[in-house]
């Protein structure tokens, strides 16, 4: 005799936006980084393919977290023509499965959660690696992710000011608006000016060349490189990566598709000089060792982050009695 399933929980984009907040995303991402570092959670190989249709890139990121009992995948990609249709170019959905039975347990909208988990990732790095007295936050990039990054980072230290730059300076208005909302002074600056002032820097652009050079950075700065998630992309000087103590979400991705790829190709650093941020969270690595040390977090984005926030959203939706349940 077969047992009835508990049913499939459906948590759409609107519900994710209503119920998931930054602290919940921070906790979910911090826990899964810790589980990855202790060997309890692992990401499976990523599939990413050009469809040859609608210029779309499509793929899956999947994994299993034995500590959080989260199994599943994020499916989605990039459809460049979506903007003209009034839709977001990046589209994704998370599928969660019961790890005891393999049954599909939840479908969760992944668009809002992707921005939330990416911002949570740099926020976790700031919480564990930035100097406690950091006052100035530097932002490079003013695209879709940037305001999520700014809001999450602002909660980690007592920042007083945001300095920012973007290829199209007119787009900095969106960051200036959020900074004002958070009660932070805001200034548009040159790259050299940003390096000279910022105590914490977040890079979140789609660039293929270094925008930040080693000689512009102050001792003691923490940098979170969040935009480089593909072979060939680049945000900072490889010499800066080599001069920093480098942390990452996952070493295999850091050296192949993350910011560290360029320093590794140039022979400036090896994979053995990169530490999973989870080790700092778990207390098996001390993290920052001095006020002068430059720390750099290479946030490449892993499937387990998506599963962690989707699982948290599904639990919140269920507890609030707001998710749709479908019997399979």
Residue 243: partners with Cβ closer than 8 Å, 6 or more residues away: 214, 294
Stretch that binds ligand NAD, among 28-36, 157-165, 206-214, 240-248 (CB under 6 A): 206-214
Phi and psi at residue 133, to the nearest 5°: -95, 20
Of 74-113, binders to ligand NAD (CB under 6 A) are: none
Stretch that binds ligand NAD, among 100-108, 140-148, 186-194, 316-324 (CB under 6 A): 140-148
How far are the Cα atoms of 95, 132, 227, 251 from residue 254, in angstroms, in the given order? Answer: 25, 26, 12, 5
> In the chain, how many H helices and how many E strands?
11, 18
User: Is 145 a residue that touches ligand NAD (CB under 6 A)?
Assistant: yes
74 a catalytic residue: yes
**In whole angstroms, how close is the CB of 99 to ligand NAD at the nearest point?**
24
**In whole angstroms, how close is the CB of 13 to ligand NAD at the nearest point?**
16
Three-state DSSP at 265 gives helix
User: Is 25 a residue that touches ligand NAD (CB under 6 A)?
Assistant: no
User: Is 303 a residue that touches ligand NAD (CB under 6 A)?
Assistant: no
Cα separation, 257 vs 232, whole angstroms? 7
Q: What is the DSSP letter of 266?
A: T
Residue 39: closest CA among 62, 67, 69 = 67
**In whole angstroms, how close is the CB of 236 to ligand NAD at the nearest point?**
12
In the set 129, 139, 198, 204, which binds ligand NAD (CB under 6 A)? Answer: 204
Active-site residue, from 74, 132, 161, 218 = 74
As annotated, the active-site residues are 74
Report the interface residues with ligand NAD, using CB under 6 A: 114, 118, 141-146, 166-168, 204-208, 211, 226-227, 229, 299-301
């Amino acid at each position: 005799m077969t047992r009835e399933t508990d049913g499939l929980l459906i948590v759409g984009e609107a519900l994710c936006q209503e119920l998931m907040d930054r602290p919940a995303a921070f906790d979910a991402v911090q826990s899964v980084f810790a589980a990855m570092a202790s060997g309890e959670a692992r990401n499976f190989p990523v599939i990413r393919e050009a469809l040859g249709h609608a210029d779309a890139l499509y793929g899956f990121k999947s994994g299993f977290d034995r500590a959080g009992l989260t199994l599943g995948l994020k499916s989605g990609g990039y459809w460049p023509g979506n903007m003209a249709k009034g839709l977001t170019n990046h589209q994704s959905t998370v599928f969660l499965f019961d790890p005891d039975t393999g049954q599909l347990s939840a479908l969760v909208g992944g668009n809002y959660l992707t921005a939330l988990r990416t911002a949570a990732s740099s926020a976790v790095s700031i919480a564990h690696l930035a100097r406690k007295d950091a006052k100035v936050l530097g932002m490079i990039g003013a695209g879709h992710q940037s305001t999520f990054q700014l809001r999450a980072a602002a909660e980690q230290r007592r920042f007083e000011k945001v300095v920012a730059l973007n290829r199209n300076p007119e787009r900095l208005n969106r960051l200036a608006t959020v900074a004002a909302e958070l009660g932070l002074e805001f200034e548009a600056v040159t790259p050299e000016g940003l390096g000279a002032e910022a105590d914490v820097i977040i890079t979140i652009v789609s660039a293929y060349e270094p925008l930040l050079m080693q000689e512009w950075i102050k001792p003691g700065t923490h940098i979170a490189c969040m935009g480089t998630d593909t072979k060939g992309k680049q945000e900072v000087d490889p010499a800066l990566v080599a001069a920093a103590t480098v942390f990452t979400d996952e070493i295999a991705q850091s050296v192949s598709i993350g910011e560290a790829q360029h320093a590794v190709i140039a022979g400036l650093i090896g994979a053995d000089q990169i530490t999973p941020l989870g080790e700092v969270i778990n207390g098996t690595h001390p993290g920052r060792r001095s006020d002068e040390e430059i720390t750099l977090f290479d946030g490449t984005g892993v499937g387990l982050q998506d599963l962690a926030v989707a699982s948290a959203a599904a639990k919140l939706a269920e507890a609030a009695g707001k998710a749709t349940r479908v019997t399979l």
